[in-house]
């Protein structure tokens, strides 16, 4: 089943709420109105009873209302108070007097009913074909200890009619009110949702080629503006990511093309010129180097791809950072020595961080590798580790070529290579630092770089100490 539009749902919701509220209040008011009017009529009935008592003459076998027929006002008042008037003798239940109205309505009572009424409540209601009456029942003892049941009535019709009138108005006005409010709600919802429809139309026009476009905001600061602003922020992030992906694709094609062209060139030359096994061996050895570079690059790409896809095996435990740095420095010593670079370390023992040893090893290796790679002969690379404010601080400083200030914010991006390293054809593909940054972030750490062109660079990594993070 197709779900209703938001506009229809809003209107339906408001109309339903309004109907329920009107119905509940209407019912309460209907009930209260009946009660108030009936109470008023009952009070009047009491007045009539008291008034008539003064004119009542009751004696065995006879009951009369005695008044001065010449006093027109008195006659009128007595007559109208006694429009619904009955007197029965008790205990026989014999009807002594009955007003004309009751006579015509056929409101006769059997002796049992009379006796029952005499012992019953003060007020009783009687539903006749045409009217509903409320009676006041009083047992009065007259002369000779004779008892009489005197009943004075009043029609409840005014209360009933007022209630019926109210119900009629309610049943007519309520749907009308609900209809009017539904129409108004429908319009209001259209007005409120219109900016959303405009946003949707504007959003539809944005495709991957036009990610620099933004949704219009009206400056009202309302919810719709908030949605537009949030969408614009997402667009900005998307634009950035798509830009990175484009750059990534361009860089990867470029990076793959160079070694492939070299390989192809070498193979062609070997085929054309090589005449001895030695020549072929030489060509293959040189190709092997290119293959190594290629497989190194593809490896790094695979690691990055699986890291970003969240498919990484992760073992979090205490890692001896001092020990790790020591063994990696030993491992790279020959590489540094080959370039006549001195590797110095200052690593006090037992500095442990929490994380995955193989990933942390990759961080140290990449930083050391860069430091050696971007230093020229006779340079120095200093590695130090210390504990500071709950963090282990790893510092790798070199006296190499340094990084230009405008390149600094980008060096952690994938495939980014600062200018001298690119133009000087220093080996590398620009993936190392982006992986380093990803690993450090996963360890809830941070990385910072300071550098001066021609003087050297210093990379500092903060990683939570094992004891500190265990307590967190
Ligand atoms: P790669 O080393 O493969 O080029 P990285 O991601 O490790 O890629 O580094 C990105 C860029 O940052 C390098 O190309 C280089 O320009 C710059 N860079 C990194 N480390 C250093 C350093 N120690 N000294 C000078 N430049 C550096």
Atom nearest to 412 CA in ligand 1 = 6
The secondary element (H helix, E strand) that includes residue 437 is helix 432-442
371 lines ligand 1 (CB under 6 A): yes
Q: Provide the pLDDT for residue 181.
A: 92
Q: Provide the pLDDT for residue 422.
A: 61
367 lines ligand 1 (CB under 6 A): no
For 186-244, what is each residue's pLDDT tens digit?
999 888 888 888 888 888 888 888 888 888 888 888 888 898 899 999 989 888 888 87
429 lines ligand 1 (CB under 6 A): yes
How many whole angstroms separate alpha carbon 94 and alpha carbon 61? 9
How far is ligand 1, taken at its centre, from the CA of residue 461, in Å? 16
Phi, psi (degrees; rounded to nearest 5) at 121: -70, 170
297 lines ligand 1 (CB under 6 A): no
Domain with CATH 3.30.450 in the chain: 6-161
How far is ligand 1, taken at its centre, from the CA of residue 411, in Å? 7
How far is ligand 1, taken at its centre, from the CA of residue 370, in Å? 6
Domain with CATH 3.30.565.10 in the chain: 317-470
Q: What is the DSSP letter of 322?
A: H
For 23-59, what is each residue's pLDDT tens digit?
999 999 999 999 999 899 999 999 999 998 888 888 7
Of all protein residues, the one whose alpha carbon is nearest to atom 17 of ligand 1 is 418
**Dihedral of CA 265/267/268/272: which sign?**
positive
How far is ligand 1, taken at its centre, from the CA of residue 428, in Å? 8
The correct answer on CATH 3.30.565.10 for the domain covering 317-470 is: yes
How far is ligand 1, taken at its centre, from the CA of residue 445, in Å? 20
The correct answer on CATH 3.30.450 for the domain covering 6-161 is: yes
* Exposure of 84 in the CB half-sphere (CA atoms within 13 A): 22
Q: 377-416 burial, b if ≥16 CB within 10 A, otherwise e?
A: eebbbbbbbebeeebbbbbbbbbbbbbeeebeeebbbbbb
403 lines ligand 1 (CB under 6 A): yes
Atom nearest to 417 CA in ligand 1 = 14
Of all protein residues, the one whose alpha carbon is nearest to atom 25 of ligand 1 is 402
How far is ligand 1, taken at its centre, from the CA of residue 447, in Å? 14
401 lines ligand 1 (CB under 6 A): yes
Domain with CATH 1.10.287.130 in the chain: 223-308
Of all protein residues, the one whose alpha carbon is nearest to atom 1 of ligand 1 is 430
457 lines ligand 1 (CB under 6 A): yes
How many whole angstroms separate alpha carbon 449 and alpha carbon 405? 11
Of all protein residues, the one whose alpha carbon is nearest to atom 13 of ligand 1 is 417
435 lines ligand 1 (CB under 6 A): no
Name the residue of 254, 379, 421, 449 to mutate for ligand 1: max ligand atoms within 8 A of Cβ: 421
CA 129 to chain CA centroid, nearest Å: 61
How many whole angstroms separate alpha carbon 138 and alpha carbon 150? 5
How many whole angstroms separate alpha carbon 155 and alpha carbon 125? 9
Q: Which parts of the chain register pLDDT below 50? A: 468-472
Name the residue of 303, 409, 417, 425 to mutate for ligand 1: max ligand atoms within 8 A of Cβ: 417
Atom nearest to 369 CA in ligand 1 = 2
How many whole angstroms separate alpha carbon 19 and alpha carbon 30? 16
393 lines ligand 1 (CB under 6 A): no
CATH code of the domain made up of 223-308: 1.10.287.130
Q: 198-210 burial, b if ≥16 CB within 10 A, otherwise e?
A: ebeeeeeebeeee
* Exposure of 257 in the CB half-sphere (CA atoms within 13 A): 6
How far is ligand 1, taken at its centre, from the CA of residue 348, in Å? 27
300 lines ligand 1 (CB under 6 A): no
The angle at the Cα of 224, spanning 236 to 241, to the nearest 5 degrees, equals 10
């Amino acid at each position: 089943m197709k779900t209703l539009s938001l506009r229809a749902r809003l209107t339906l919701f408001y109309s339903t709420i309004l109907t329920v509220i009107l119905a509940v209040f209407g019912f309460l008011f209907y009930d209260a109105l009946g009660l108030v009017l009936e109470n008023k009529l009952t009070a009047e009935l009491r007045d009539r009873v008291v008034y008539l008592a003064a004119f009542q003459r009751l004696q065995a076998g006879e009951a009369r209302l005695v008044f001065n027929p010449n006093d027109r006002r008195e006659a009128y008042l007595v007559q109208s108070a006694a429009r619904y008037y009955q007197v029965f003798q008790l205990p026989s239940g014999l009807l002594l007097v009955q007003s004309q109205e009751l006579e015509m309505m056929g409101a006769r009572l059997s002796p049992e009913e009379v006796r029952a009424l005499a012992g019953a409540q003060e007020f009783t209601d009687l539903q006749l074909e045409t009217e509903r009456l409320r009676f006041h029942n009083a047992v009065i003892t007259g002369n000779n200890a004779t008892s009489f049941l005197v009943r004075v009535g009043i029609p409840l019709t005014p209360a009933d009619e007022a209630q019926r009138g109210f119900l009629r108005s309610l049943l007519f006005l309520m749907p009308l009110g609900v209809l009017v409010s539904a129409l108004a709600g429908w319009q209001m919802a259209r007005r409120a949702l219109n900016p959303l429809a405009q946003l949707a139309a504007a959003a539809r026009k944005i495709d991957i080629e036009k990610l620099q476009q933004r949704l219009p905001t009206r400056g009202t600061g309302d919810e719709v503006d908030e949605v537009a602003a949030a969408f614009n922020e997402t667009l900005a992030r998307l634009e950035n990511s798509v830009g990175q992906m484009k750059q990534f694709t361009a860089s990867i094609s470029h990076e793959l093309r160079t070694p492939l062209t070299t390989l192809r060139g070498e193979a062609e030359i070997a085929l054309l010129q090589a005449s001895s096994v030695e020549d072929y061996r030489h060509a293959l050895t040189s190709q092997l180097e290119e293959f190594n570079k290629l497989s190194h690059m593809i490896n790094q790409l695979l690691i990055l791809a699986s890291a970003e896809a969240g498919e990484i095996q992760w073992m979090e435990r205490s890692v001896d950072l001092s020990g790790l740095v020591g063994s990696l420095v030993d491992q790279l010593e020959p590489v540094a020595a080959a370039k006549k670079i001195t590797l110095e370390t200052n690593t006090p023992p037992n500095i442990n961080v929490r994380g995955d040893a193989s990933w942390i090893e990759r961080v140290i290796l990449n930083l050391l590798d860069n430091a050696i790679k971007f230093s020229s002969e006779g340079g120095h690379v200093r590695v130090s580790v210390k504990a500071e404010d709950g963090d282990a601080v790893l510092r790798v400083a070199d006296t190499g070529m340094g990084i230009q200030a405008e390149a600094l914010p980008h060096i952690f991006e994938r495939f980014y290579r600062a200018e001298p390293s690119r133009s000087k054809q220093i080996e590398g593909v620009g993936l190392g630092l982006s992986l380093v940054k990803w690993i450090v972030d996963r360890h809830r750490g941070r990385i910072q770089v300071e550098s001066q062109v021609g003087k050297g660079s210093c990379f500092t990594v903060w990683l939570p100490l094992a004891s500190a993070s265990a307590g967190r």
